[in-house]
Structure 1
Amino acid sequence: MNASKALLASALGAVVAMGALSATPAVAAEKEKCFGIAQAGKNDCASATGSHSCAGQATKDKDPGDWKYVAKGSCEKMGGKLAK
């Protein structure tokens, strides 16, 4: 691949990456952390109680320290809480 094609490919890759990153905040704004609804192994991030530090490590269903992202306004309807 010659230098101009490599430069063009690199620039195109950067544009695609920037588009993906700019979409993320809008999606996050439409979601909220909902505690106490995650099933074992299906939590979205670390436990609020410090029992684990990563997504997918919940050991029991509906642990009040584990959370999942849900559509804004739906957490309490699902039986969860917005704050730990």
Structure 2
Amino acid sequence: MIRSTLALTLAGSLATAFASVAFAAPLPAEKMVGNEKCYGIALKGKNDCAAGAGTTCAGTSTMDYQGNAWKAVPAGTCTSMNVNGHMGMLTPKKG
């Protein structure tokens, strides 16, 4: 009985851990201190949050340099960023 209880507990813990990875949490507020949202520079699945229609939050952008997906970057640096020919933007690109 003890062994089966331990196995169930371990299985439950692992299931919880995997489930929490599947649903990305919003970006912690402390990461935004001194940073700004920079749209259009995130790689597919590497955005920090708010990737717009069809996505939920962090890690859900569906393509590289998606115009409505952002990364947190040091304040004042976004518009000077050029990532493989894609310029950073302070507002999401429509369409």
- Band of TM-score, shorter chain: 0.5 to 0.7
**Match for residue 88 of structure 2?**
80
Higher share of residues assigned helix: 1
> More relative contact order in 1 or in 2 (CA 8 Å, sep 6+)?
1
Is the radius of gyration larger for structure 1 or structure 2? 1
Runs of 4+ in 1 over 2 A off after TM superposition: none
What's the RMSD between the two structures over aligned residues? 1.7
Give the unaligned 5+ runs of structure 2.
Answer: 1-28, 82-86
State which of 64, 67, 86 in structure 2 corresponds to 1:64. Answer: 67
Shift of 1:58: 1.0
Q: Percent identity?
A: 44
Partners of 1:81 and 1:52 lie apart in 2 by 19
Q: Aligned residues, how many? A: 59
Partners of 2:79 and 2:54 lie apart in 1 by 24
1:28 aligns with 2:32: yes
So what's the TM-score if we normalise by structure 1? 0.62
Give the unaligned 5+ runs of structure 1.
Answer: 1-22
Shift of 1:41: 0.9
Partners of 1:70 and 1:51 lie apart in 2 by 24
